[in-house]
Each structure stands twice: as C-alpha cells, then as structure tokens.
Structure 1
Amino acid sequence: MLTAPQIFAFLAAALVLTATPGPDNLMVLSMGISRGRRAGMAFGFGCALGCLSHTLLAVVGVSALVAASPLAFGLLKGLGGAYLVWMGVQAWRHAGRASVSGSVGGDASLRQLFVKGLIANAINPKVVLFFLAFLPQFVVAAQGSVAAQLGLLGLLFTAQAALLFGLLGWFSGSVGAWLNRRPAVGPWLDRLAGTVFIGLGLRLIVSR
C-alpha cells in the first residue's frame, strides 16, 4: 500500500515539522520544565494522539472527494500545495518568535494533562487544515485505496509525534535550557521547517 520511498519521505518531513518550535512542542517543554518530565510526557502524548481525530477527518473527507471527482482531488492537492507554500513563507517571516518558558503552573493530574493535550490538539482548526494539506501530498492514487494510505500516513505521523513529544517531555529540562542558551537555534529550525513546507508545496504544483 505504501512504498518504502513514500514512508521515508513522509517521516523525514514529519520529523522536521514536529521538531520545529511551535505551540505543541513548546508547551510540552514548558510543562516538563515547570512540572517535571512525567507531566511533560503526559501532555505530549495527549497532543500526539489528538492527531488521530485529524487523520479520521482527512480519511473521510478526502476519500469522499476522490469518489466524487478525481479532478476535485487533484484540485485539493494543488490547493494544499499552495497552502504549504504559504505556511513555509510564514515560517521564514516569523522565524524565532517562539520561546520556551518554565512558567506553566497548576496541579492537574497526569490524566488531566493528557486529556488537556488531546483536546488542545483535536480542536485546533489550524491542525485540521494542516492535515488536509499535508497528508494528501504523499498519497499515490494508483497504488490502491486512498483512504488506507491516508490512514496509514496519519498513524505514522501520530507515532512519530508521540515518540518525539515523549522524548521532549523526558529531556525537557535539558532541552529547554539548551534552547534558551542558544536563541539563534530556534530561527534556523523555523527556517528549516519553512523550507520543507515550500519544497513540498512547489513539488506538487510543478508536478501537476
């Protein structure tokens, strides 16, 4: 269903994008710094599993679109490519504006932190748009069920996010201190992610 080149290309892009400083992973770091590694990991696992809801929406919505009109699916991929280019440009324009803080307070249990991360990710409309734009770029309709490919890609994204967020939570104190001592690193991570976004979007637009 998914070829090895598909999987490797997808995971490479997903790892770069997940590692780039953003609301989710910065909150994981902040939670771990202020509340301890177990709190950071609980919140991070919740954020990662929240991706499953976006995967389901992508599978249902995109699959219905393909069934209705292959031309419409091509249009969706083209619009998704343009959206990824726009996100890449924004990442370059606003590189380095995110920061790591250790000021997250409260006395929520690990379960509550997990649920908080799950809900925060699941209801974020920007993540919904991202999944609708990102996942279809790696789907090859000639290789079988589009729904199955989208589902597997979503599961792969969730798995790598859970692994990376778990590691961020576990090493939050060290990672947060390292990033704060090196303020120049954040902007370059943003630019790297922006380049990946632009590259993915342009590849799709040109290939069409």
Structure 2
Amino acid sequence: MDGQLIAFTGVAAGMVAMPGADFTVVVRNALVSRRAGVASALGVAGGLLLHTALAVAGVAAVLAAVPALFRALQLLGGAYVLYLGVRTLRSLSRADTAVEEESGTGAVRPLRQGFVTNALNPKAPITFLSLLPQFVPAGQPALPRTLLLALIVVALALVWFPAVALLVDRLGRWLRRPRAARLVAAVTGTALTVLGVVLLLEPLLALGRGSA
C-alpha cells in the first residue's frame, strides 16, 4: 500500500468517525434494537456510496456550479434532520418512550432514516470532489484510483457505524431503562434539532448575504 493511500485512509477515517447527524441517527435507532441500529448504519453507508458514485460521475461538479441546487439540497437535508430531532423530543412528552414506540417497525424505517440523512447532505459530494483528486498520483489513470478511494470511504463506514450500533446495543440494558432512555432521547433529539437548525440557517444566511 503506497503512502498516499495510507494518508487518505487516515483522513477518511477521521471524516467518517466525526460525530454528526449520521452518528446521532445510528445511536437513536440502536436504542430501539440492534437490528434497527445496524440497519440505520447500513443506510448511512448506502448514502456514502451514493455520494462517492455521484462524485466519481461528476455530479458534484454540477452542484458546485449551480448554487441554487446546492442550497435547495441543503434546505432539504436540514429540514429532514430537524424533523428527526423534533420527533425524538416529542416522544419525551408521551408515556411511551421512543424505544417502545418504534420497537415493532423492523429495519425498513431505520434503514431509510440512515440513508436519507446522509444522502441529503450536499456537502458530502463536494468534499469528495475536492478531496479525492488530492490523492491521485500524477500520471495514474484518475478513474480507477478515484473508485478505489471511494470504496475505502464506504468500507470504513461499513465498519464504523455498525460498530457504534453494536456498542450502543451492548450498553442497551442500562440505556433502555426508563430514566436513561429519556435522557438519551433528550440528548439525541436535542443534537439532531440543533444540527437541523444549523443546516437550515447556513443556506438561508448565505442567501441573505448574496442578496445584500
């Protein structure tokens, strides 16, 4: 393995492991069940696979060239994350916890939540578009190398997010106690709500600066 590939793996691992909406959604679903947590983790990896495919295909360049489309995707992503956060916080006002409420939903909903949360993040393909070329050695064909780098990102996600889900599930006996479950739901709900608001404000503020 060459030095650039090792360096890229380290950078990509840091990007994947960085706490954010993906991490919070996986933790939230892992509190429902191991199956839901792993399904959510696979959904996140699926979203990353979509982003890497789009970056390789050059769609990310279109997003970079059309600010209105980029802002629209930002707003959609922020609105979805905010929806998940508010929905989690609303569960605190009911007698049943989020764990009890969703225990029978199977894997489809958490899989969809993980995928949509990641897929609606327009910064991901832009990041890939700007990052991947930095690790393509001069003189090498760009497409095979870029595909390899993209697969490394997806592979890291397939290791990290299921590991997070399994760890949360292992701690589930304590985390699913009513008091602990409410605390975790409050923390994850607040985190998702704040992330959603931030994601919504960023494009709105950018639009305001652009029109000023």
Normalising by structure 2, what TM-score?
0.57
Question: Which residues of structure 2 form unaligned runs of 5+?
Answer: 65-88, 90-96, 176-183, 185-212
Q: What is the root-mean-square deviation of aligned Cα atoms in Å?
A: 3.2
Q: Which of 106, 113, 117 is equivalent to 2:114?
A: 117
Map of 2:29 onto structure 1: 31
Q: Is the 8 A contact 1:32 1:41 kept in 2?
A: yes
Q: Is 1:148 aligned to residue 144 of structure 2?
A: yes
Q: Is the 8 A contact 2:43 2:113 kept in 1?
A: yes
Map of 2:168 onto structure 1: 172
Q: Is the 8 A contact 1:49 1:162 kept in 2?
A: no
- The 5-angstrom pairing of residues 40-79 of structure 1 reads 40-61=37-58
CA distances 1:160-184 after superposition (whole Å, capped 9, x unpaired): 111100100111156797xx8xxxx
Q: Which has the larger radius of gyration?
A: 2
- Shift of the 140–36 alpha-carbon distance from structure 1 to 2, 3 Å rule, reads same
Question: Which residues of structure 1 form unaligned runs of 5+?
Answer: 66-75, 77-100, 181-208
Query: Could you tell me how far apart the structure 2 residues matched to 1:165 and 1:39 are?
Result: 12
3-state SS in 1 of match to 2:58: helix
- Shift of the 115–141 alpha-carbon distance from structure 1 to 2, 3 Å rule, reads farther
Q: Is 1:17 aligned to residue 26 of structure 2?
A: no
Which amino acid letter does the alignment assign opposite residue 34 of structure 2?
Answer: R
Show structure 1 runs of 4+ deviating over 3 A. 101-107, 173-177
Q: Which of 158, 163, 175 is equivalent to 2:159?
A: 163
Normalising by structure 1, what TM-score?
0.57
Query: Could you tell me how far apart the structure 2 residues matched to 1:175 and 1:141 are?
Result: 47
**Cα offset, 1:115, TM superposition:** 2.9
